[in-house]
Chain A
Amino acid sequence: MTSEELLTLQVTKTVDARGTACPGPLLEAKKAIGTIRPGDIMEVLSSDEGTIVDLPKWCAKQGHDYLGTLEVSGYFRIFMKKQ
Chain B
Amino acid sequence: MANKKMCLGLFTGSVDKLTAAGVILGGAAAMDMQVDIYVLLQGARAFRKDIGDDPAKLQMAENPELKAEFLESLKNLKVKTWVEFFREAKEITDVKIHICGLAGKIWGGEKIEDFIGLADDIVGIGAYITAAQEADVNLFI
A residues within 8 Å of B by Cβ? 19-24, 26-27, 29-31, 58, 61-62
Contacts and interface: CB of A to CB of B under 8 A. Distances in A.
A23 to B, nearest CB: 4
Interface string B67-83: 00000000001110000
Interface residues of B, number: 12
Given A27-B88, A31-B92, A19 B30 contact: no
B78 A26 contact: no
Contacts, number: 30
A27 B78 contact: no
Interface in B1-41: 23, 26-27, 29-32
A27 B31 contact: no
Given A21-B77, A27-B88, A30-B92, A62 B23 contact: no
Interface of B: 23, 26-27, 29-32, 77-79, 88, 92
Contact of B92 (A19, A20, A27, A62): A27
Q: Chain B binding site: helix, strand, loop or mixed by DSSP?
A: helix
Given A30-B92, A31-B92, A23 B31 contact: no
Nearest to B74: A21
Contacts of B30: 23, 26-27, 29-30, 58
A58 B31 contact: yes
A23 B26 CA distance: 6
Contacts of A62: 31-32
8 contacts: A21-B77, A21-B78, A23-B23, A24-B78, A24-B79, A26-B30, A27-B92, A62-B32
